Structure 1
Amino acid sequence: MELEFEKWHGNKNDFILTWFSHDQVTFEALRREAPRLCTRDGSGIGADGILVLHTKTSRDIMPYQMSIINSDGSLAETCGNGIRCAALSILTKHHEQSPKVDIPEGIELGLKSSRASLRYLGDVTESARGHLPLVAVEMGKALINEENPDYEGAKAFIKKVSQELSMPALTKDWSLVSLGNRHLVISLDVVSPELIRKIGPALQKSELWDGINVHIIRSKAMVDADRRQSAQSLGQAIDELYEAFVWERGAGETQACGSGACAVAASLWQTGLSDRSHWLGVDMPGGRLYIKQASRDDQITMAGPAKLAFRGKVTI
């Protein structure tokens, strides 16, 4: 069958997005085709994953659910960058098909095991090329370290991997975070793409999990432009900025990870040294995401841009 799709990216974490009113058999076919469609070897479209917006009919402009297919065909629990792309796809379709009908200020999207609320904040500067819409997503609450039943097992596993890699620094400052999906956040003095390519794969295979998102982070110095841009976009200047590199479950190295940025922030808040009520910046290779949480009892809010790259059709 021929499938219409849109190619989106959120901070260069890119996705094939399709509006889907087909049956489960076709959805499973799309999962099987995911590696071929997502490959970047020139024979596919190229993407970190596939976003499926489920509707009851092809005329609907508001999906009742979103499924996230990783590039290897497995299913993801949540995806912050993907949710922002979905939000702007919904807004675009609404403006194209029903411009006279107001879209709700907040949108609810059903995910595999949770729901995400999202809203539009305004615009963020995209260098000299103009502005991109800034979307805020309520990502839920995080479980950190001992709040996860397998924390002690994770501690032993990380110690084992650190010995195998001859990297004792891995055991010094790390957090296990659950936010619909699972994350390991490791704070190091030096981070780089080469380092995440070494650490990320080594932490995937464990009896504790079927793959896990891995992030290595370090504190990053801010300049006046960082505070000025965040104040213009968010109405509040950021207090802290961190650099992070990502290895995603089911996708490998990616340019950004929205839920991962939330996990990074949650790992910092639990130390008590960061103020969760103020926006915190997380710089990944694909760009910057902003994270905050009004209080420990509230949902974590992530804000960032998304952009439509092109539309197309593909046979599956």
Structure 2
Amino acid sequence: METSEDTCEANEMKFWKYHGIGNDFILFDWIGNDIEIDKDRCKLLCDRNYGIGADGVLFLLSGDKADVGMRVINADGTEAEMCGNGIRCLAKHAYDFGVVDKTEFTIDTLAGIKTVKVALDADKVVTVRVDMGAPILDGRSIPIDHDGKFIDRQLKVDNLVIRGNAVSMGNPHFITFSDLDDGEVIRLGPILEKYKLFPKRTNVEFCRIEDGNIHIKVYERGAQWTLACGTGACASTVAAAVNGLVSFDEPVAVRLPGGWLTITVKKDLSHVYMEGPAELVYEGNISDE
């Protein structure tokens, strides 16, 4: 793999390390680059002992139908359709490094074109608001092996009966507000990710409502336990609103292990808006061998 213009020496490629409330990524600027993405290499780079270490790899691409494009490879080498924290990091990079010259622009993802608006401090992006589009509640479209909506339905798994909700934000999520202890949560995360109802596996969100805020622990598809999941925060807020636990059309504070996001769900479910920070940690060069 090789960047377009930031390669310092032959056989080296430049990368940037970002995080969105602890959900961390390696980013490569592949504007104008048509080399095939090496998913096995991405998996190695994400290894926290033998690689750089990250929850995933972001590729900033030229945009055919949008201002720029994005691809996301998970830590296990699989590809994600969408990543809420990742898109904020990519948006920050695109603006801060002059790839785009406007504060509102579009990003083409495997989950469709998303519009982002960046907020600046000293000409650098500090937070990003993303129009995540409409959530998907139809079971077969999420996908989940269920006809119609899967909202506040009973599920028996690992000798426990819980209630859950299935929502897609371009990628599948299973959200539960059941009262579970820490041991049950830790046990159920990897089981639910690969549960038979989910043909493409699923992200899993364990939620509780406290003072009108949503607190979430996330077992992320392809990355295991993570400090944050932007699409998971969106999907969880959708599920909470549909179940009457939070209000539509009002910003909801969502607490993940790595920090806070603000999510707003339109009552007609036409749009979900996510707002949160993105931070550059460091940049470097790695061997292309």
TM-score > 0.5, shorter chain as reference: yes
Coordinate RMSD, CA, aligned: 2.6
Among residues 9, 17, 27, which one is paired with 2:27 in the alignment? 17
Counterpart contact for 1:78–1:111, Cα < 8 Å: yes
Shift of the alpha carbon at 1:297? 4.6
Secondary structure, aligned partner of 2:146: helix
Shift of the alpha carbon at 1:298? 2.9
Q: Give the 3 Å change call, closer, same or farther, for CA 242–210 of structure 1 in structure 2.
A: same
- C-alpha separation between the residues in 2 aligned to 1:207 and 1:199? 14
What TM-score, normalized to structure 2? 0.84
Q: Give the 3 Å change call, closer, same or farther, for CA 191–77 of structure 1 in structure 2.
A: farther
Secondary structure, aligned partner of 2:166: strand
The match for 1:180 is 170
Among residues 182, 198, 203, which one is paired with 2:187 in the alignment? 198
Shift of the alpha carbon at 1:81? 0.3
The match for 2:8 is none
Report Cα offsets for 1:199-223 as digits up to 9, x if no partner: 11101223632221000000123xx
- C-alpha separation between the residues in 1 aligned to 2:181 and 2:67? 39
Equivalent residue letter for 1:202? I
Equivalent residues in 2 for 1:54-93, closer than 5 Å:
54-55=61-62, 64-93=68-97
Shift of the alpha carbon at 1:273? 4.3
Secondary structure, aligned partner of 2:248: coil
More strand by share: 2
What percentage of residue pairs aligned between the two structures are identical? 32
Report Cα offsets for 1:105-138 as digits up to 9, x if no partner: 3110000131111002457xxxxxxx98121001
Secondary structure, aligned partner of 1:260: helix
Counterpart contact for 1:191–1:217, Cα < 8 Å: no
The match for 1:305 is 277
Q: Give the 3 Å change call, closer, same or farther, for CA 256–177 of structure 1 in structure 2.
A: same
The match for 1:126 is none
Report Cα offsets for 1:141-189 as digits up to 9, x if no partner: 112265857453779x97342xxx2322x2x3x1100111000001023
Shift of the alpha carbon at 1:314? 1.4
Q: Give the 3 Å change call, closer, same or farther, for CA 158–188 of structure 1 in structure 2.
A: closer
- C-alpha separation between the residues in 2 aligned to 1:307 and 1:72? 23
Tell me how many residue pairs correspond in the alignment: 268
Shift of the alpha carbon at 1:3? 1.9
Equivalent residues in 2 for 1:1-316, closer than 5 Å:
1-20=11-30, 21-25=32-36, 27=37, 29=38, 31-41=39-49, 43-55=50-62, 64-94=68-98, 103-121=101-119, 133-144=126-137, 148=141, 150=144, 152=146, 159-161=155-157, 165-168=158-161, 170=162, 172=163, 174-190=164-180, 192=182, 194-205=183-194, 206=196, 208-221=198-211, 240-316=212-288
Q: Which runs of 4+ in 1 moved over 6 A?
A: none
- C-alpha separation between the residues in 1 aligned to 2:261 and 2:115? 17
More helix by share: 1
Equivalent residue letter for 2:13? L
- C-alpha separation between the residues in 1 aligned to 2:240 and 2:197? 27
In structure 2, runs of 5+ residues without a counterpart are 1-10
Q: Give the 3 Å change call, closer, same or farther, for CA 44–147 of structure 1 in structure 2.
A: closer
Secondary structure, aligned partner of 1:200: helix
Shift of the alpha carbon at 1:294? 3.6
Secondary structure, aligned partner of 2:97: helix
- C-alpha separation between the residues in 2 aligned to 1:208 and 1:187? 19
- C-alpha separation between the residues in 2 aligned to 1:105 and 1:12? 24
Secondary structure, aligned partner of 2:238: helix
- C-alpha separation between the residues in 2 aligned to 1:195 and 1:121? 39
Equivalent residue letter for 2:41? E
- C-alpha separation between the residues in 2 aligned to 1:48 and 1:145? 28
Between stretches 272-281 and 244-253, larger displacement belongs to 272-281
Counterpart contact for 2:144–2:197, Cα < 8 Å: no
Counterpart contact for 2:237–2:265, Cα < 8 Å: no
Secondary structure, aligned partner of 1:17: strand
